[in-house]
Structure 1
Amino acid sequence: MYLKFRMVMVCALLPIVTVLAQDKPEVTIGGALRYNYNYSSWKEGHQKRGGDFGLDVFRLNAKANYKKLSLDAEYRLYSTDFGGGMLKHGYVGYELNDNSNLQLGLTQVPFGILPYNSNSFFFSMNYYVGLEDDYDMGIKYSYRKNNWELDLGFFKNAEELRFGSNTDTDPSRYSYDVGSIVIDGETVLRNKEVNQLNGRVGYNWGSDAVAHHVGTSAQYGGLYNLDTEELGNHYAFEGHYQLKVNRFGLKAGVAYYKYNAENPLEQGKDLIAFVAYGASYMVAAEAYTYTAGASYTLPVNWEHISSFTFYNDFGMLDKCNDGFEDAFMNVTGVMVSAGPIYTYIDYAMGKNQPWLSPEWTNGLGAGNPDAEWEARFNINIGYYF
């Protein structure tokens, strides 16, 4: 009789114990350590010493869940020349129901193909003009049900690291944002993104073997100039398509953007400055981007290696100013998956592309009419934990 009573009490108390256990936050810590080798055709030193091999990034990831609340943050440590330490993203989430949630903080701007509009280590042309894998400070609503995707966001500003009344945007950041640039010892094009609205709609159809996705995005926001203290604006639109046929994948998109900055008269309105990774460069204030990427995953069983993903990503910045030279990039490569180790082996080519040619300051701006295609052979090795 006593044993039976104990069993009844255990069964009665079990749901209560379970609920109490769920009241405790669940925390997961992870991260990655990545190294990078690169050999650039336009760097004479690389030709003499066979390129450079060094630290890419050490990062820490933290995720937590508590009832309907969640946290997701990632902090990265790059070398000093690439900006040093920076928060890639960090937000608090709230699950409204099974189909929708809110995110508050430094969260990904909903624009284009998510989470990436590319396959390679170098992303697509959109990334370098702030339209891919961009993170800003604000609030975002996401809805997923049946075949539909809907994202709405309001972003007060890009990640703010300097809180003075007239301070320039700090370039120590992961994603590209509007900022300032020093030309001939003078800081010019001193703009900041403010009060930005974003909307994105996507639709999915097909089967596990053949899946389609089509979507469109729009954003509109203010552009505050620190010298004139006047407010301009900027906006962008994009349409994209994504296809998956078994192991084959295709991504394609067309975007248009325009920045109407209230710069001082002598600085004009044809150029805008972008900042990230501790440095600045100029970008055409109005342009179209065309991106296309194809991939194929080949499963294998070679010791620790489980798959090879072959890809090619192409991008073009079609500048609306007839006096500017367009920019191009093409990345052919393979990602090797081996347990927790992922290796990107890329042959990246660029023309008037800051990261893939010698045209750093003006490549995406006015460009160089005498620019030629340059190449960068790149190997990125990362252990993810």
Structure 2
Amino acid sequence: MKNRKVYTLLILVTICFAGYAQKEQLPKVKIGGAIRFNYNLSDWKAEQVKRGGDFGYDVFRLNATGTYKQLGFNAEYRFYSNSFGGGMLKQGWIEYYINDFSSIQLGLCQVPFGLQPYNSNNWFFSLPYYIGLEDDHDMGIKWIKHYEHLLVQAAFFKNAEELNFGNTSAISPNRYSYDVAGRNKEVNQGNIKLAYSPDGDFNTSIEFSAMYGGLYNLVSNKMGNHSALALGFRHKMNNWELKLQALTFSKNPKDSAQYKNTIEMGAYGAIYKVAAKGQVVSSSLSYTIPCKSQHIDYLKLYNDFSWFNKSEETFHDSYMNVLGCMIAAGPIYTYIDSAWGKNHAWLGPEWTNAFAEGSKDAGWHMRFNINVGYYF
């Protein structure tokens, strides 16, 4: 009789605990990622052209997202080859959901500037990326608020990704997005972005971005500044999408005269120079073709053009045009791009000064690129 009472009590406790566990919200975590390979043929690399291009490893990445009650997180870590910067955190933040329409992110967040998530369609992005104004991520806090016809983002970034916590140490170029490097550091930056959609679904939107922050010079130990403004337009209709953007930026380091007209920027394990002031205009047109094939879901055809007008009169402008196609086949995404550049560090023989002084004798160079990725 005594044992029966004990068993009954245990059963009641188990039932109560199970009911409590069902009511209690448990953390939810999702793990994903991708493995990508790349083929490229660059017309300025004579020996590579002779052997018909190169095919090799691009990147392995891991993505993790999760939620718990009103909290969430988002992280992406990428593993490139050592010559391409090695391992790096692309993004990573903790998010607090105030309600269904607003949230706050803390950590390595995407900077709210320009058309997002990308100003382009191709694997190479567009010229704003190479001067740190497309898909940039910095360390700080960001507030996001959705209204019926308006999306507002405001952020404060203490600095770019900091990997060297020294007293006067320069930033490491082993990073995904381009940041000011070398003699200067980005500090105490404020951003605001407004996106207005007449129909509320953001298939059509007009977007305004503004940024202002400090540039701390490691040589003079004085604070300079940098700023940028952007105006963008996006329109989706049926299978077409048009993106237009114009931006202007200015970087004013407190440095000696010989360093006033250029600024160093770094990513993927290397540093180059960029004109300290300029404007970039870009256009992107794409058309998506649904496919009834059991192997291919859709094709996306696109052409992305951008022009970097450098304010310094003796500098020579940079240009970029990418004509390509993205093939979606289940978990496999393939980008086939013909990327052309003039005074472009990644699309031509000149690395250090292509985005700075450039060359009046620079011609157009082409890189044919195929990037294949499996996403899980």
TM-score (norm 2): 0.94
Correspondence 1:72 to 2:74: yes
Identity %: 51
CA distance in 1, matches of 2:65, 2:32: 8
> Equivalences for 1:51-62 in 2 at 5 Å?
51-62=53-64
* 1:363 maps to which of 329, 332, 354: 354
Correspondence 1:302 to 2:293: yes
Give the drift of 1:19: 2.0
Q: Is the 8 Å Cα contact of residues 120 and 331 (structure 1) preserved in structure 2?
A: yes
Map of 1:247 onto structure 2: 239
Q: Is the 8 Å Cα contact of residues 227 and 264 (structure 1) preserved in structure 2?
A: no
* 1:108 maps to which of 107, 110, 113: 110
* 2:339 maps to which of 321, 337, 348: 348
**Count of residue correspondences:** 364
Correspondence 1:206 to 2:208: no
CA distance in 2, matches of 1:370, 1:290: 22
Give the drift of 1:373: 0.3
Counterpart residue identity of residue 197, structure 1:
G
Q: Deviations over 1:79-109 (max 9, x none)?
A: 1111000000010000011110000000100
Give the drift of 1:359: 1.9
Counterpart residue identity of residue 197, structure 2:
N
> Equivalences for 1:1-385 in 2 at 5 Å?
16-20=20-24, 22=25, 24-180=26-182, 190-206=183-199, 211-265=203-257, 267-385=258-376
Task: Identify unmatched segments of 5+ residues in structure 1.
Answer: 1-8, 181-189
Q: Deviations over 1:282-333 (max 9, x none)?
A: 0000000001000000001223111000000000100011100000000000
CA distance in 1, matches of 2:47, 2:253: 39
Counterpart residue identity of residue 199, structure 1:
I
CA distance in 1, matches of 2:161, 2:154: 19
Q: Is the 8 Å Cα contact of residues 94 and 105 (structure 2) preserved in structure 1?
A: yes
CA distance in 2, matches of 1:141, 1:295: 31
CA distance in 2, matches of 1:10, 1:37: 59
Q: Is the 8 Å Cα contact of residues 320 and 339 (structure 2) preserved in structure 1?
A: yes
Counterpart residue identity of residue 244, structure 2:
A
CA distance in 1, matches of 2:101, 2:351: 44
TM-score (norm 1): 0.92
Q: Residue 146 of structure 1: SS of its match in structure 2?
A: coil
Give the drift of 1:206: 3.4
Give the drift of 1:264: 2.7
Q: Is the 8 Å Cα contact of residues 103 and 141 (structure 1) preserved in structure 2?
A: yes
Task: Identify unmatched segments of 5+ residues in structure 2.
Answer: 1-12
